[in-house]
């Protein structure tokens, strides 16, 4: 209950996740907040802020507006701005104060949409969850509202490339150092065709055509919301994983090809969202066997701290390629069923510290370094979602070159 | 008649108003707000760090903590900041007081060194849930009698009512001073993030009149900080520092004097005369000292005006409010002295600037005022990119530089520690330098808390 961080940083919050996910799609995003969220987002979270004129604003809610429940001020301000800026959509994302005063996101969004004629979302973020929660919610909203149903029945898979949407791409997890492009290249090299990239490098029109894809690739937990909606609307299966490693990406590509065909053959009748997941079974040492130099998940292991999907992919590749048990300490929201028995959800500093006992390697953002136990080798893997812009120039592209990491183990 | 620097593209959404048509004190309708990448102004994390050896503990939602910890990380002071995250269950469970007390206690217990002082920052959620702050601090003081605690606030929702968060923060800087006998020959310059310039008129006057000067920016440890309490005079010139000066006077018994910042020679003379009057209670030669500074200041500023005007001629000059507390005062001064000031960026007109505003309406009606947070300002930098390649625009202040997209700019915030005639000569010197040399505007303006290394003792 102490919820303290005496030394380390904190992850980007849900409200920023909404902004980041929608940044390139031509909408107008409003953080319903007094002040502070805007400068934090634009300084630390949004590497594209200087170069792309995306419309992200705060409402500047005052004490009296909050107490009196004066939603009309916000609605009017949004109307004014929309009439000048003509966004493709409007999104309102919440922070602690709207949460406390019971702001009705859905109703306000509906009123704004009615008055402006512009599709409007009300995302009930609180500023108390991580960016993953917000980005997932936002991309889920886009999937619900903008993806168009294909006019024709699904095209047979034979004789053509499999089509893929990449879900969960934001600079918070993938920076702007080319990792998004590396994922695209990997897919193309594996013979896939990329339909859309949610949401770095795709326009809203490209995203609208996402239902033309055969499968979604969820590269961070931020892509889950959209994956679920696209399954529910179009029955699309989804693969989970970041193609980081020398072996895992190939296995994942093969599995996607096999499973998509299998799912197509099965039809959609009894399918559940979970049953349409495509992922590599990992956890090489879960059977109790030991790794290099007798290492186990308790002693001599590698700890990978960070976002769930990418950390799991990295941990899996370390196990496969280095023979070292690698456990994920996931500090952001993540569907629990993708984590293995050895992995842990560790939202607070107090949760992480005990899990590092016995680690031979800690792979994490540099701002975790102060809590790394003596004797463990620290391998910095900066994440904008944790340290913002501080180590931006040092973020590696593990999709392009996983050996950078292997060589340090 | 003002020269038009460039034509805006048709369909521009960048807002602006002629000063003649502008309303006081709010020339622009409030609405959704934009945040420019110019980040040189300080925030409450930077300012709190001015208290040497103090530890800051923020109790807020994760979204609010994020800016805090990364501010500290960028300063290299993560060891001086800790956090307690407020979660949704805390709002529902009504255990906010416990969360603060136990969270702060837990952190203090984990710190490698016992800090002499802890600044506990509570936030909007505490304000709205009616948390009993008095009880919290009483309990913390009981538990840790060897630590000085003070209440700090990260509640931006209060920025439009009562003392602003900035004013509150500046006042908190001095709440930890312990009462001690006052020394009539000691004076404290208070409420500044940026140290007073050694050659500023204020510092020169205090030194010449025989005062020992205390300023928080020069305190190297907590004991030196405590020595400020011996000051008989507290002098502020940042308008946001004035409420703190009054509180300090009431608590410790010295005299607070607010020296109005100005670029107008007559106003400078009047303001410094009032200050000399106050100081004369403890210094017999303060008037002589002032006369000398005044004579030298008038000569130096006249020469600086001539030199600068000859150099930069009709070059368009733009100003923003982050440069100094009197942006319109600076515009008036420059226009009266023949400079081609074309735009001033500000969101509201400070009360002290009202006479300047009226003067500009009357005498320079075409001067344009532009906001900095209006939604349309998102596009100013992009719109100006082409124009910036065609004509040199000299910007005074970071936001002006960003909006104008110019590398010819004066990189100063909060008045840069300048006062009196020295503010005139130094500003003109910086303008000459900006005219002659470019700086990497894109990189420089994005650095948070310009000059905050002063906190790193």
Determine, yes or no, domain membership for A346.
yes
Element (H, E) at B222: helix B222-227
Determine, yes or no, domain membership for A217.
yes
Decide if B444 touches A, using CB distance below 8 A. Answer: no
- Bridging pattern class, strands B117-123 and B55-60: parallel
Q: Does A312 share its domain with A268?
A: no
Decide if B376 touches A, using CB distance below 8 A. Answer: yes
Decide if B84 touches A, using CB distance below 8 A. Answer: yes
User: Which segments of chain A have a pLDDT < 50?
Assistant: none
Please give the pLDDT value at position B6. 37
Please give the pLDDT value at position B387. 75
Calculate what percentage of chain B has a pLDDT beyond 70. 96
Measured between alpha carbons, how far is B318 from B110 in angstroms, rounded to an integer? 50
Q: Dump pLDDT digits (tens) for B348-389.
A: 998 888 999 999 999 999 999 999 999 999 999 988 887 777
For B299, residues 6+ apart whose C-beta sits below 8 A from its C-beta are none
Q: Does A170 share its domain with A69?
A: no
| Bigger pLDDT: B6 vs B208 | B208
pLDDT at B425 over 60: yes
- Is residue A199 reached through a cis peptide bond, with omega within 30 degrees of 0 on the bond before it? yes
Residue appearing with tokens 């033309």: A212
Decide if B350 touches A, using CB distance below 8 A. Answer: no
| Predicted model pTM | 0.93
Burial zone of A350 (CB within 10 Å; 0-12 exposed, 13-18 middle, 19+ buried): middle
Decide if B73 touches A, using CB distance below 8 A. Answer: yes
Residue span of the structural domain in which A374 resides: 292-406
Please give the pLDDT value at position B5. 36
Q: Is B83–A55 a contact, with Cβ atoms under 8 angstroms apart?
A: no
Q: Does A210 share its domain with A304?
A: no
Contact (Cβ atoms closer than 8 angstroms) between residue A329 and residue A346: yes
Q: Residue A106: how many CA atoms within 13 Å on its side-chain side?
A: 0
Of A129, A144, A172, which one is at a domain's C-terminal end? Answer: A129
pLDDT at B90 over 70: yes
Determine, yes or no, domain membership for A171.
yes
Q: Which residues of B touch A129 (CB under 8 A)?
A: 62
pLDDT at B159 over 80: no
Measured between alpha carbons, how far is B450 from B40 in angstroms, rounded to an integer? 5
Measured between alpha carbons, how far is B346 from B81 in angstroms, rounded to an integer? 32
Decide if B78 touches A, using CB distance below 8 A. Answer: yes
Q: Dump pLDDT digits (tens) for B279-301.
A: 999 999 999 999 999 999 999 99
A123 — alpha (psi -120 to 50), left (phi > 0) or beta? beta
Measured between alpha carbons, how far is B455 from B13 in angstroms, rounded to an integer? 40
Q: Which residues of A touch B91 (CB under 8 A)?
A: 96, 99-100
Nearest to B33 among A58, A84, A85 (CB): A58
Interface test with B, best of A28, A63, A85, A98 (most B CBs within 10 A): A63
Contact (Cβ atoms closer than 8 angstroms) between residue B378 and residue A42: no
How distant, in Å, are the alpha carbons of A174, A182, B384 from that of A242? Answer: 10, 10, 40
Mean of pLDDT values over B176-186: 97
Measured between alpha carbons, how far is B35 from B332 in angstroms, rounded to an integer? 27
What is the CATH classification number for the domain harbouring A231? 3.40.50.1980
Determine, yes or no, domain membership for A42.
yes
Q: Does A306 share its domain with A263?
A: no
Measured between alpha carbons, how far is B228 from B190 in angstroms, rounded to an integer? 10
Contact (Cβ atoms closer than 8 angstroms) between residue B188 and residue B233: yes
Nearest to B439 by CA among B396, B394, B408, B400: B408
Residue B320 sits at the vertex; the CA angle it makes with B316 and B324, to the nearest 5 degrees, is: 120
Nearest to A9 among B39, B69, B79 (CB): B69
Residue appearing with tokens 């310039």: B197
Nearest to B70 among A7, A44, A97 (CB): A44
Q: Is A128–B32 a contact, with Cβ atoms under 8 angstroms apart?
A: no
Tokens standing for B107? Answer: 């952190």
Decide if B388 touches A, using CB distance below 8 A. Answer: no
Q: Does A24 share its domain with A102?
A: yes
Please give the pLDDT value at position A34. 87
Provide the shortest C-alpha distance from residue B240 to chain A (in Å).
Answer: 18
Determine, yes or no, domain membership for A196.
yes
Provide the shortest C-alpha distance from residue A286 to chain B (in Å).
Answer: 34
- DSSP assignment of B352-417: GGHHHHHHHHHH-TT-EEE-SSSGGGGGHHHHHHHHHHHS--EEESHHHHHHHT-S-EE---GGGG
Please give the pLDDT value at position B277. 97
Please give the pLDDT value at position B227. 97
Q: Dump pLDDT digits (tens) for B24-80.
A: 999 999 999 999 999 999 999 999 999 999 999 999 988 888 999 999 999 999 999
Measured between alpha carbons, how far is B160 from A64 in angstroms, rounded to an integer? 9
Q: Does A273 share its domain with A203?
A: yes
Decide if A48 touches B, using CB distance below 8 A. Answer: no
For B386, residues 6+ apart whose C-beta sits below 8 A from its C-beta are none
Outline where A209-294 has alpha helix (H): 224-234, 248-266
Of A105, A129, A153, which one is at a domain's C-terminal end? Answer: A129
Contact (Cβ atoms closer than 8 angstroms) between residue A309 and residue A278: no
Structure ipTM over 0.85, yes or no: yes
Residue A347 sits at the vertex; the CA angle it makes with A342 and A351, to the nearest 5 degrees, is: 65
B-contacting residues of A 94-123, CB under 8 Å?
95-97, 99-101
Rg (CA), chain B: 23
Determine, yes or no, domain membership for A139.
no
Q: Is A78–B32 a contact, with Cβ atoms under 8 angstroms apart?
A: yes
| Range with lowest mean pLDDT among A356-365, B161-170, B331-340, B363-372 | B161-170
Measured between alpha carbons, how far is B184 from B171 in angstroms, rounded to an integer? 22
Decide if B363 touches A, using CB distance below 8 A. Answer: no
> What average pLDDT does chain B have?
93
Chain pair A-B, CB pairs under 8 angstroms: 207
Contact (Cβ atoms closer than 8 angstroms) between residue B215 and residue B238: no
Burial zone of A157 (CB within 10 Å; 0-12 exposed, 13-18 middle, 19+ buried): middle
Please give the pLDDT value at position B162. 76
Nearest to B62 among A11, A58, A61 (CB): A11
Please give the pLDDT value at position A57. 97
Measured between alpha carbons, how far is A106 from A84 in angstroms, rounded to an integer? 24
Sheet hosting strand B117-123, strand order edge to edge: A4-5, B81-85, B55-60, B117-123, B148-154
Q: Does A116 share its domain with A212?
A: no
Q: Does A93 share its domain with A169?
A: no
Residue A407: CB atoms within 10 A of its CB come to 8
DSSP 8-state assignment for residue B118: E
For B11, residues 6+ apart whose C-beta sits below 8 A from its C-beta are none
Contact (Cβ atoms closer than 8 angstroms) between residue A139 and residue A17: no
Please give the pLDDT value at position B3. 33
DSSP 8-state assignment for residue A376: S
Backbone φ and ψ for B369, nearest 5 degrees, come out as -105, 135
Q: Dump pLDDT digits (tens) for B234-258.
A: 999 999 999 999 999 999 999 999 9
For B70, residues 6+ apart whose C-beta sits below 8 A from its C-beta are A9, A40, A43, A44, A387, A388, A390
Contact (Cβ atoms closer than 8 angstroms) between residue A52 and residue A180: no
Q: Is B83–A4 a contact, with Cβ atoms under 8 angstroms apart?
A: yes
Angle between helices A248-266 and A179-189 (to 10 degrees): 60
Please give the pLDDT value at position B10. 56
Mean of pLDDT values over B442-456: 88
pLDDT band at B8 (very low <50, low <70, confident <90, very high): very low
Measured between alpha carbons, how far is B166 from B156 in angstroms, rounded to an integer? 9
Sheet hosting strand A55-58, strand order edge to edge: A55-58, A28-32, A90-94, A120-123
Q: Residue B174: how many CA atoms within 13 Å on its side-chain side?
A: 36
Decide if B159 touches A, using CB distance below 8 A. Answer: yes
A288 — alpha (psi -120 to 50), left (phi > 0) or beta? left
Q: Is A10–B79 a contact, with Cβ atoms under 8 angstroms apart?
A: no
Query: Coil, strand or helix: which one is A216?
Result: strand
Q: Dump pLDDT digits (tens) for B223-235.
A: 999 999 999 999 9
Query: Coil, strand or helix: which one is A237?
Result: coil
How distant, in Å, are the alpha carbons of A35, A160, A250, A318 from that of A246? Answer: 45, 26, 8, 10
Q: Is B85–A62 a contact, with Cβ atoms under 8 angstroms apart?
A: no
Q: Is A50–B70 a contact, with Cβ atoms under 8 angstroms apart?
A: no
Nearest to A100 among B83, B128, B154 (CB): B128
The count of structural domains within chain A is 3
Determine, yes or no, domain membership for A228.
yes
Decide if A13 touches B, using CB distance below 8 A. Answer: yes
Measured between alpha carbons, how far is A90 from A56 in angstroms, rounded to an integer? 10
Please give the pLDDT value at position A6. 72
Determine, yes or no, domain membership for A124.
yes
For B97, residues 6+ apart whose C-beta sits below 8 A from its C-beta are B131, B132, B135, B136
| For B446, nearest residue in chain A (alpha carbons) | A43
Angle between helices B286-312 and B421-436 (to 10 degrees): 20
What is the CATH classification number for the domain harbouring A368? 3.40.50.720
- DSSP assignment of A152-208: SPPPPSTTSPEEEEEE---HHHHTTTTHHHHHHHHHHHTTEEEEEEESSS--HHHHH
Q: Does A259 share its domain with A366?
A: no
Decide if A290 touches B, using CB distance below 8 A. Answer: no
How distant, in Å, are the alpha carbons of A152, B259, B301, B384 from that of B420? Answer: 76, 10, 10, 34
Q: Does A328 share its domain with A383?
A: yes
A-contacting residues of B 250-289, CB under 8 Å?
none
- Bridging pattern class, strands A377-380 and B409-410: unpaired
Please give the pLDDT value at position A335. 85
Residue A115: CB atoms within 10 A of its CB come to 15
Please give the pLDDT value at position A153. 78
Tokens standing for A253? Answer: 């590509």
């Amino acid at each position: 209950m102490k919820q303290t961080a005496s030394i380390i940083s904190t992850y980007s919050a849900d409200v920023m996740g909404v902004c980041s996910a929608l940044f390139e799609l031509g909408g107008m995003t409003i953080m319903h907040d007094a002040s502070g969220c805007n400068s934090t987002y634009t300084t630390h979270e949004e590497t594209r802020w200087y170069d792309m004129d995306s419309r992200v604003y705060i409402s500047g809610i005052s004490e009296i507006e909050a107490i009196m429940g004066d939603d009309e001020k916000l609605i009017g301000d949004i109307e004014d701005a929309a009439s000048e800026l003509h966004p493709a959509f409007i999104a309102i994302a919440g922070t602690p104060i709207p949460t406390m005063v019971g702001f009705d996101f859905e109703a306000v969004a509906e009123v704004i949409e009615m008055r402006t004629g512009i599709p409007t979302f009300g995302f009930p973020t609180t500023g108390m969850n991580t960016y993953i929660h917000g980005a997932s919610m936002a991309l889920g909203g886009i999937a619900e509202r903008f993806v168009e149903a294909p006019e024709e029945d699904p095209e047979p898979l034979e004789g053509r490339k499999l089509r893929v949407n990449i879900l969960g791409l934001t600079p918070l997890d993938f920076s702007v150092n080319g990792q998004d492009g590396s994922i695209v290249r990997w897919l193309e090299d594996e013979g896939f065709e990329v339909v859309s990239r949610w949401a770095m490098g795709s326009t809203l029109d490209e995203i609208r055509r996402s239902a033309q894809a055969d499968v979604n690739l969820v590269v961070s937990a931020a892509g889950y919301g959209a994956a679920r909606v696209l399954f529910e609307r179009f029955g699309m299966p989804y693969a989970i994983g970041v193609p980081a490693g020398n072996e895992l990406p190939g296995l994942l590509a093969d599995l996607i090809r096999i499973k998509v065909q299998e799912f197509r053959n099965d039809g959609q009748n009894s399918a559940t969202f979970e049953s349409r997941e495509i992922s590599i079974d990992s956890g090489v040492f879960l059977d109790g066997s030991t790794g290099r130099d007798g290492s186990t998940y308790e002693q001599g292991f590698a700890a990978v701290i960070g976002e769930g999907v990418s950390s799991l992919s990295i941990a899996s590749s370390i196990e496969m390629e280095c023979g070292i048990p690698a456990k994920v300490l996931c500090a952001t929201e993540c569907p629990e069923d993708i984590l293995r028995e050895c992995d842990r959800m560790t939202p607070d500093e107090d949760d992480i510290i005990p899990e590092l006992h016995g680690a031979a390697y800690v792979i994490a953002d540099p701002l975790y370094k102060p809590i790394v136990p003596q004797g463990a080798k620290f391998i910095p893997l900066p994440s904008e979602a944790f340290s913002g812009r501080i180590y931006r120039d040092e973020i590696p592209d593990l999709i392009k070159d996983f050996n950078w990491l292997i060589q340090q183990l | 008649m003002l020269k038009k620097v460039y034509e805006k593209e048709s369909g521009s959404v960048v807002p602006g108003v002629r000063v003649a048509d502008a309303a006081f004190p709010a020339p622009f309708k409030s609405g959704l707000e934009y945040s420019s990448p110019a980040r040189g102004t300080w925030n409450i994390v930077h300012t709190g760090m001015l208290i040497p050896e103090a530890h800051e503990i923020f109790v807020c939602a994760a979204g609010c903590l994020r800016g805090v910890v990364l501010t500290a990380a960028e300063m290299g002071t993560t060891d001086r900041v800790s956090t307690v995250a407020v979660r949704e269950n805390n709002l529902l469970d009504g255990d906010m007081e416990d969360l603060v007390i136990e969270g702060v206690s837990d952190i203090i217990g984990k710190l490698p060194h016992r800090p002499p002082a802890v600044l506990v920052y509570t936030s909007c959620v505490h304000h709205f849930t009616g948390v009993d702050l008095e009880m919290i601090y009483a309990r913390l003081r009981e538990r840790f009698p060897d630590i000085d605690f003070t209440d700090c606030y990260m509640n931006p929702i209060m920025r439009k009512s009562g003392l602003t968060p900035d004013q509150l923060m500046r006042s908190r800087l001095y709440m930890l001073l312990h009462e001690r006998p006052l020394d009539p020959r000691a004076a404290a310059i208070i409420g500044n993030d940026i140290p007073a310039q050694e050659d500023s008129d204020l510092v020169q006057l205090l030194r010449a009149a025989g005062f020992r000067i205390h300023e928080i920016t020069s305190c190297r440890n907590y004991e030196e900080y405590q020595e400020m309490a011996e000051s008989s005079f507290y002098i502020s010139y940042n308008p946001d520092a004035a409420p703190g000066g009054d509180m300090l006077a009431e608590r410790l018994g010295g005299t607070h004097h607010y020296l109005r910042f100005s670029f107008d020679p007559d106003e400078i003379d009047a303001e410094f005369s009032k200050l000399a009057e106050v100081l004369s209670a403890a210094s017999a030669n303060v008037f002589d000292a002032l006369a000398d500074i005044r004579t030298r200041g008038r000569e130096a500023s006249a020469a600086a005006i001539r030199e600068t005007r000859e150099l930069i001629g009709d070059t368009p000059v733009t100003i923003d409010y982050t440069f100094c507390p009197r942006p319109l005062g600076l515009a008036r001064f420059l226009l009266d002295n023949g400079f081609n000031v074309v735009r001033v960026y500000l969101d509201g007109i400070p009360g002290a600037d009202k006479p300047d505003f009226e003067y500009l309406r009357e005498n320079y009606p075409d001067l344009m005022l532009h906001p900095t947070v209006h939604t349309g300002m998102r596009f100013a930098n992009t719109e100006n990119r082409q124009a910036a390649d065609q004509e040199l625009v000299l910007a005074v202040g970071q936001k002006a530089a960003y909006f104008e997209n110019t590398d010819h700019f004066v990189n100063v915030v909060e008045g840069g520690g300048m006062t009196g005639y020295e503010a005139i000569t130094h500003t003109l010197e910086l303008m000459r330098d900006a005219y002659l040399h470019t700086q990497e505007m894109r990189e420089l303006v994005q650095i948070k808390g310009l000059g905050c290394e002063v906190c790193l003792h």
